[in-house]
Amino acid sequence: MAFLLPPLYPIMDASFLPSFERGAYLMRVVCELEDAGVTLLQYRNKHSIEEIPHDAVIIRGGATSAVTLIMNDHPELAVNAGFDGVHVGQGDVSPGSAREIVGPDRIVGISTHNLGQLKAADLMPVDYIAFGPVFATTSKLNSDPVVGLDGVCEARSLTSKPLVAIGGITLENARAVRKAGADSVAVISAMFGPDENPVKIAKDFLRIFR
């Protein structure tokens, strides 16, 4: 059965998590995001692999089975934490290797940044493809060139796999991104950045997608 992407794909980047009472914050936000209607959540930590198991246990404990949890980069840690899948980038473990590690029943997603990568990903054992950055983004250093809405349209024409648009997506442009062909929009700094209220923003995104 094909994996069905919800319209909103929040990515909780560890660089935005507070250092003080981090565990309590994680537990509260995960529970409140689920109550707000979030059904898919990725945890991403590019800075400290040592933090991942601790954070993952809290996230898994805060979410019920109604929320699909995705681990960025680390298929073994995804399995160990009881997450539902893994997301890999172009420089990470290959989707084939990730699939071998997580097995046939967990989700594997991949990031792509141009149409060549997307065409290659379409032939890989992945459940969805992320494509972007659609717009300029501040949540990733050395980001790839923006693909724009036209790029999303082209990507949609080249794959039947579920398509996640990522990069610079906000409440103001999210509907246009989905209209261009994305099944889902990934949101990082617009939701979890400094001074943002992730639960309120999740509700706002879900409201405009109704």
Which residues does the annotation mark as catalytic?
44, 111, 140
Q: Select from 109, 106, 68 the least CA-distant residue to 87.
A: 109
